[in-house]
Structure 1
Amino acid sequence: MSDIYQFSVLNIRGESVSLEQFRGKVLIVVNTASRCGFTPQYRGLEALYQTYKSRGLEILGFPCNQFGQQEPGSNREIADFCEANYGVSFPLFAKVDVNGATAEPLFQYLKAKAPGFLGSQSIKWNFCKFLIGRDGTVHRRYAPFVPPSTLSKDIERLLARS
């Protein structure tokens, strides 16, 4: 596959969503968790979303329970938590695996296109962020410890491209 638009995923309500609907947008795809030391990054992600959504940024949050069982809730509980505690208004999707035999195909693709440290294709923890350009190609991968605010320069650069 040459871009992410060929994938369909389930949203937080269990409805199928074609990523084709995000064609022409700059995307951040991130695996999330509600009980993680990085959970406050929801605040930073929402700030990015509010700053750049009118210019074409979308953030796609994918809850994941593979790291320390830090996302044990149902999709409904996750959505309620994110809205109540962090005011999350960007799209959330159904809980997924990001590593192993049951990994969501979208994340298999993202990991292959933007390997991690020393070429590793596994995701090491919650809040690994992938930045995708308007053309659907993966621009860069950011480690979980990288605060969302530090993505601004790269987001600005990608938003400036037509």
Structure 2
Amino acid sequence: MAAQTTKKSGLISHGIAAQNRKARYDYTIKSTVEAGLVLKGPEVKSLRHGRATLTESWAGERDGELWLYGAYIPEYQGGVLSRFEPRAPRKLLLKRKEIRSLLGAITREGQTLVPLQIHFNERGRAKVLLGLAEGRKKADKRAAVAARDWQRDKARLMRARG
């Protein structure tokens, strides 16, 4: 999914606004779910400029609802007077059944909800792709890197042969 931008302003109309690339290295992603995100106007504008960071963020439960913690969305510098906290918790929008199943997986199976990316859908709504994940040990990380390097080298060899 390539991000589409307008020519004049460089804003992301729909596509990926922020990615957590380190998550796929640190965790084994079992399944993914897309959730809506409650944002204020200046936060959306800042996301459209692609300045958000998800590297230290995670999703957790508070009062029976899911929240996104630690995501960094910088203040919008376009002359807007309303300020917001860049690392404030933001509410995630999911159906009750999905929330219950995710919370069950977190508590019973010891898995973690990791945000993988923030993107805008075709209707221009901000969405978060959450991954239900298990942490990797150091040896598993090394094996994943070795497998990825071998796939890259194998593709190069096949291209060289023609």
TM-score bin (small chain) = under 0.3
Instruction: Identify, as 1 or 2, the structure richer in strand.
Output: 2
State the TM-score, normalized to the length of structure 2: 0.26
State the TM-score, normalized to the length of structure 1: 0.26
